[in-house]
Chain A
């Protein structure tokens, strides 16, 4: 009976919980007493349909499929008589998760109903303070450009320290703090400011790792005017 309904609904689900919730609501069954065999079967049908359509099936769908099958098998087991205390319904954790998800799904719809700036209502535009130098527009760059730049720096670095025994103790979080402090003081640093005169190879690598970590955390951003140009690093604004 579900055959005709797959195609239209497939891309509408926000994830496995959403699909499961949809099936429960569609079958109008009690969420506190899910007919697990029925719902599992229908869930599997959807999964198969997605597979046959070669849709990129997120791994999470399969995880929930396994969970459902597991619950189903546990429901088939006769209740153990040895245990004194009442056994927990195998569906309980899943039900809790579904209800929680549903509450947030509702909250999301609530947010969507608000008067959203830039969609329903408008205010004076933010005037972006573009502090880039005149004449050159800075483009934000990502990890790849940084790695490329790092490769160029290390190529230039002398190789004599291959056998060097590191006595210097460097920690990543220390380098991270140093870089942030320096940026707060100076506003902007170039990539070569940071890596240029850093001495040991180890220090070089830690500095680079610190930059990557800070970029990942979106604490700093890197900009470049032209490819292979000077890389400028700034603190990301709030």
Chain B
């Protein structure tokens, strides 16, 4: 395919969610995943070198166009929106879910020392946290985890992309 790069760029451009390699492979019949991936790398490099208002990024297991830094004020004005806002309490709760998943509500509350029901509900409404099922222990408590949307919102390729949690020193005694 001689216009492969253009096709791939267009696919990512029109998509409203990150486009995965698997999806592109299916659309671009006969083109190997390796070829698609290296073309994407090439494209990402072009945007990085340019650099303009838009960048191609690897997000949540796929590829997506994102605006550059420090452009938020203008974009928010255009959209007439307030910036996405998470309270410190929501951030803390989200951090515990992200690093400890699958996690029970009681475990989150043990770490934070406060009730998290309301906050957890809010995070689920924002589609950052979801119910992953029930734990197979008495009472069958619900267990929570983060969503694909969480990766998207925080610009992560995958959960393994999260910065490592500072190991708290165990007490030596």
B-binding residues in A (CB < 8 A): 14-18, 32, 58, 60, 64, 86, 88-89, 92, 95-97, 99-112, 114-127, 217-219, 238
A105 to B111, CA, bound (A): 10
Offer 11 A-B interface pairs, CB within 8 angstroms, sorted by A.
A58-B115, A60-B115, A64-B113, A92-B173, A97-B113, A104-B92, A109-B91, A116-B86, A116-B154, A121-B67, A127-B16
CB contacts (< 8 Å) of A86 on chain B: these are 173
Which B57-84 residues have a C-beta within 8 angstroms of A? 64-69, 71-72, 75, 81, 83-84
CB contacts (< 8 Å) of A108 on chain B: these are 88, 91-92, 94-95
Contact B92 A99 (CB under 8 A): no
Cβ contact of B155, chosen from A15, A17, A109, A121, cutoff 8 A: A121
A58 to B153, CA, bound (A): 31
Cβ contact of A124, chosen from B65, B85, B95, cutoff 8 A: B65
Say how far B43's CB is from chain A's closest CB, in angstroms: 16
Residue among A32, A101, A107 having the largest count of chain B Cβ atoms under 10 Å: A107
Q: Report the nearest B residue to A124, measured CB to CB.
A: B16
Say how far B140's CB is from chain A's closest CB, in angstroms: 10
Contact A103 B166 (CB under 8 A): yes
Contact A238 B148 (CB under 8 A): yes
B171 CB within 8 Å of chain A: yes
Contact A122 B72 (CB under 8 A): yes
Contact B113 A101 (CB under 8 A): yes
Besides A16-B113, A99-B168, 12 more A-B contacts (Cβ < 8 Å) are A58-B115, A60-B114, A97-B113, A101-B112, A110-B95, A116-B86, A118-B81, A119-B72, A119-B83, A121-B71, A124-B14, A217-B142
A219 to B153, CA, bound (A): 22
Contact A14 B89 (CB under 8 A): yes
CB contacts (< 8 Å) of A107 on chain B: these are 95, 98-99, 163, 165-166
Cβ contact of B64, chosen from A88, A102, A123, cutoff 8 A: A123
Contact B83 A14 (CB under 8 A): no
Q: Which of B24-32, B44-52, B123-131 contacts A (4 or more CB under 8 A)?
A: B123-131
B39 CB within 8 Å of chain A: no
CB contacts (< 8 Å) of B127 on chain A: these are 238
Say how far B148's CB is from chain A's closest CB, in angstroms: 7
Known: A118-B84, A123-B64. A104 touches B173 (CB 8 A): no
B38 CB within 8 Å of chain A: no
